[in-house]
Amino acid sequence: MEKIVESFELYGKTYRFETGELAKQATGAVLVTQGETTVLVTAVISKEEKNYDFFPLTVDFMEKMYSVGRIPGGYLKREARPSEKGTLTARMIDRPIRPGFVDGFKREVHIVATTLVCDGKNAPDCICVGGASAALMIGSAPFDGPAACVRIAHNPETDEFIVNPTYEEQETSDLELTIAGTADYISMVEAGANEVSEDLMLRAMDFGQQAIAKFCEAQQRFLDRCDITPVEWPIHVADPSIDERISPFFDEMSQALSDADKQARMGKVEELKARIKEESFNEEELSAWGSDIAAALKALEKKAMRAMVIETGERVDGRRADEIRPLHIVPGYLPRVHGSGLFQRGQTQALSIATLGMLNEWQRLDTIDPAEGKRYMHQYNFPPYCTGETGRMGAPKRREVGHGALAERALLPVIPSEDEFPYAIRVVSEILESNGSSSMASTCGSTLALMDAGVPIKAPVSGIAMGLIKEGDDIVIFSDIQGIEDFLGDMDFKVCGTEKGITALQMDNKAKGLSTEILGRALKQAHEGRAHILRAMLAELPEPRATLRDTAPRIETIHIPVDKIRDVIGSGGKVVRGIQDETGAQIDIQEDGTIHIAAIEGPAGEAAKAMILGIVKEPEVGEIFEGEVVGIKDFGAFVKLTPGKDGLLHISRVANGRVGSVEDVLQLGDTVKVQVLEIDPKTGKISLDRLDKPEAPEGSAPAPREHRGHDRHERHEGGKREGGQRDVRPGRANRTPRRRHESQ
């Protein structure tokens, strides 16, 4: 294929599709660009059909550090496993692409998006969806495209929407909506927002759908110029006799599904499926049609569940469509931890635990994203036992990363600023039971944990997962979906927010023809459900606790002049380490002179604060100190006023009367009370006067003037002492005196 380039401008930004030059052995490859951000998206379709009962699609997003002119951190100096941002981007590409494939296509498909250039202005994620769609269609995949993805920002001052905003434009927005689909329907929505209204969110979705249509038109112009060879891909069709043998068990499946307990219901369904296999198929058929039989049994379960809802209006657990499962809420569930909250909705249970730390414990991000790090972190764990299963425990899977990010996004708008609450905050949500909506349970649990920890969040956040069944013109919208309604339904629509508005949203859609009118109904019903849950949470914990737990660090913030930072740190960090070792407090020093002092016990923090302020303090004339004698000279004693400042107490002021030697009155380590007499404006040298002077000791008077002069004369005569003897002090023995004009 010859090189083909399609450049276009939409909504004030420039884009480009290019193919025919790079990665020509892939089934399809497209270089897609926004501004100067450039991503190579390839699609490869396996030559072999897999005997799976699901569509084997894999999406990888490869963050290359060279794209931002950086060398990766770590020992190996190469990109390792994907960052959380990379994982989330791969999921974002997968979710709108997957539903576009025709049913029955069982060949493995692998999409790889590789960042070649990131210009620091334009994000690379949204354009990857368009690149994946174009690569698939160039390869003549059985894919319902073109598909595209856009990010919508909103300027609250002008009430204008911005398509694919730059990082700078996004900073002033109260909305970050990512929406994907085709010109005809929406397949994926994801949003973070600063408590925006349902009306604004719907307007943004409607605008986003229009924008997607324009990007699909541009992509189609590019595809029309490409020489695409049609391919007749084999679409797997199961033997019709399979469905004929399984269909008669419809009523029994409906009866098996009618049980509110998840484990009991699953047991009945699996028992029925096993009996159907045993009664309806022989061993040879089970071996030959294994995946087809499994798919047909799943289809029977789906059909029975959906028919039950459409025909009777009753769900498998007996609830109405808008009914929320029973709630069990316990803030402060655990002792000693900084904050905790147990949230249970039906058979979904999340225990969230909050930990407070110093700001220097924030999470640093080594990614291509401009963000250097974050101080609020939420992590979500989904162990096998929460669904009564066995399995390996290891690194978080993509699903866990995605659910954790959603709950983090939901709480981020209400987290207090660093100035209001100078802590790094980590919340971990442990899913202990799961039967749907576990990410929303973790959102509610996180709110409880933060409030229990005494974090002054701006408003409490609750979340709910909505579902949908659409059969022709019949539509049922569920509140608080459970697992079976997620797996067998048409939509998983999660909505989080405060009493004021939405803070986060995520939707995956399997039903084509989903309109914004249907989404509007779902948002309204979600608002009512969120309010019900929030009232139950506030009944147990109406506001953040007034004080932190005794086990949590108390952090105090002080500010010092920038030119004093070096004095506080000391050579090689010696001073600040000494303060920490002596007091037990933790100290974090910022470049602007902001210092955060953390200590579990108040006296430790106060002691560290006093030591730091002592180092940076500048003595003033007339100020009185009690200081230690740290140096003695013939002419006086040096007294330590602050950790970084000494003053001179002249010999004439150490006592009342004439003193011959300072050591007759003072010794190293003595503590004396002094007052600042004078500070030299040029050198900064400080002169002191001793308060409560003692009387000079008898016999301490200085030698007669003439004798003292004679001593000085003798000392300058060739290093000789009295009697003409040569000075034999260490380092001076046998030293030959020189004159200045003598050669060296």
**Each residue of 527-545: pLDDT tens digit?**
999 999 999 999 999 999 9
Q: Which one, of 617, 541, 608, lies nearest residue 578 by Cα?
A: 608
pLDDT number for residue 704: 59
Q: 647 and 591, same structural domain?
A: no
Q: Which of 176, 198, 225 is the last residue of a domain?
A: 225
- Structural domain that includes position 284: 240-312
Q: 194 and 80, same structural domain?
A: yes
Instruction: Kindly tell me if the per-residue pLDDT of 194 is higher than 50.
Output: yes
Percentage of the chain beyond pLDDT 70 is 94
Least confident of 3-7, 486-490, 614-618, 705-709: 705-709
Question: Mean pLDDT across the stretch 301-328?
Answer: 88
* Distances in whole angstroms, Cα of residue 364 to Cα of each of 70, 300, 561: 15, 49, 27
Region of residue 64 (left: phi > 0; alpha: psi -120 to 50; beta: else):
beta
Instruction: Kindly tell me if the per-residue pLDDT of 209 is higher than 90.
Output: yes
Q: Which one, of 36, 2, 512, 6, lies nearest residue 220 by Cα?
A: 6
Q: 254 and 397, same structural domain?
A: no
Query: Is 339 a domain residue?
Result: yes
* Distances in whole angstroms, Cα of residue 90 to Cα of each of 60, 464, 575, 695: 5, 25, 47, 84
Query: Is 700 a domain residue?
Result: yes
131 vs 570, which has greater pLDDT?
131
| 492 annotated to a ligand binding site | yes
Query: Is 167 a domain residue?
Result: yes
pLDDT number for residue 167: 95
Q: 464 and 417, same structural domain?
A: yes
Query: Is 547 a domain residue?
Result: no
3-class secondary-structure state, position 371: coil
pLDDT number for residue 692: 86
pLDDT tens per residue across span 376-387? 999 999 999 999
Q: Which DSSP string do the residues of 531-565 spell out, in sequence order?
A: HHHHHHHHHH--S--SS--TTSPEEEEEE--GGGH
Q: 374 and 406, same structural domain?
A: yes
3-class secondary-structure state, position 708: helix
- Answer whether 672's CB lies under 8 Å from 666's CB: yes
pLDDT tens per residue across span 432-482? 999 989 999 999 999 999 999 999 999 999 999 999 888 877 888 999 998
Query: Is 233 a domain residue?
Result: no
pLDDT number for residue 703: 59
Token pair of 381 as six digits: 């764990």
Q: 487 and 353, same structural domain?
A: yes
CATH assignment of the domain containing 603: 3.30.1370.10
| 508 annotated to a ligand binding site | no
519 vs 205, which has greater pLDDT?
205
173 vs 54, which has greater pLDDT?
173
Confidence of residue 516 (pLDDT cuts 50, 70, 90): confident
Average per-residue pLDDT for the chain: 89
At a CB cut-off of 8 Å and minimum separation 6, what does 531 contact? 462, 499
> DSSP class of residue 334?
S
Provide φ and ψ at 428, rounded to 5°.
-115, 125
Q: Distance (Å, rounded) from C-alpha 720 to C-alpha 118?
A: 78
Q: Distance (Å, rounded) from C-alpha 599 to C-alpha 606?
A: 9
pLDDT number for residue 742: 41
Q: Which of 492, 517, 540 is the last residue of a domain?
A: 540
Confidence of residue 81 (pLDDT cuts 50, 70, 90): confident
Q: 685 and 625, same structural domain?
A: yes
Q: Which of 258, 283, 312 is the last residue of a domain?
A: 312
pLDDT number for residue 490: 84
> DSSP class of residue 573?
G
Q: Which one, of 570, 582, 556, lies nearest residue 616 by Cα?
A: 570
Give me the numbers of helices (H) and strands (E) for the chain, helices first please: 17, 29
Query: Is 546 a domain residue?
Result: no
Token pair of 590 as six digits: 């910022």
Chain-centroid distance of CA 31 in Å reads 30
Confidence of residue 743 (pLDDT cuts 50, 70, 90): very low
Q: Distance (Å, rounded) from C-alpha 470 to C-alpha 491?
A: 9
Q: Distance (Å, rounded) from C-alpha 177 to C-alpha 634?
A: 77
Question: Mean pLDDT across the stretch 207-235?
Answer: 95
Instruction: Kindly tell me if the per-residue pLDDT of 558 is higher than 80.
Output: yes
pTM for the complete prediction?
0.82
Q: Distance (Å, rounded) from C-alpha 415 to C-alpha 683?
A: 48
Question: Mean pLDDT across the stretch 190-202?
Answer: 95
Instruction: Kindly tell me if the per-residue pLDDT of 728 is higher than 60.
Output: no
pLDDT number for residue 277: 92
Instruction: Kindly tell me if the per-residue pLDDT of 721 is higher than 50.
Output: no
Question: Mean pLDDT across the stretch 144-155?
Answer: 95
When divided into structural domains, the chain yields a total of 5
Task: Say which amino acid occupies 504.
Answer: A
pLDDT tens per residue across span 89-145? 999 999 999 989 998 898 999 999 999 999 999 999 999 999 999 999 999 999 998
Least confident of 201-215, 406-420, 649-663, 692-706: 692-706
Query: Is 217 a domain residue?
Result: yes
Burial of 307 (0-12, 13-18, 19+ CB in 10 A): middle
> DSSP class of residue 698?
T
At a CB cut-off of 8 Å and minimum separation 6, what does 202 contact? 516, 519, 520, 523
Q: Distance (Å, rounded) from C-alpha 384 to C-alpha 438?
A: 13
Q: 601 and 671, same structural domain?
A: no
Question: Mean pLDDT across the stretch 343-347?
Answer: 95
Q: 572 and 478, same structural domain?
A: no
Q: Distance (Å, rounded) from C-alpha 15 to C-alpha 216?
A: 13
Query: Directed axis angle between helix 84-97 and helix 398-411, to 10°?
Result: 100
pLDDT number for residue 161: 97
Q: 402 and 272, same structural domain?
A: no
Q: 597 and 663, same structural domain?
A: no
* Distances in whole angstroms, Cα of residue 170 to Cα of each of 26, 192, 308, 590: 35, 11, 45, 27
Q: 258 and 402, same structural domain?
A: no
Q: Which one, of 167, 258, 164, lies nearest residue 207 by Cα?
A: 164
pLDDT number for residue 148: 97
pLDDT number for residue 601: 84
Token pair of 198 as six digits: 């349902």
- Answer whether 655's CB lies under 8 Å from 668's CB: no
pLDDT number for residue 736: 44
Query: Is 378 a domain residue?
Result: yes
CATH assignment of the domain containing 446: 3.30.230.70
Confidence of residue 151 (pLDDT cuts 50, 70, 90): very high
Confidence of residue 230 (pLDDT cuts 50, 70, 90): very high
Q: Distance (Å, rounded) from C-alpha 584 to C-alpha 600?
A: 9
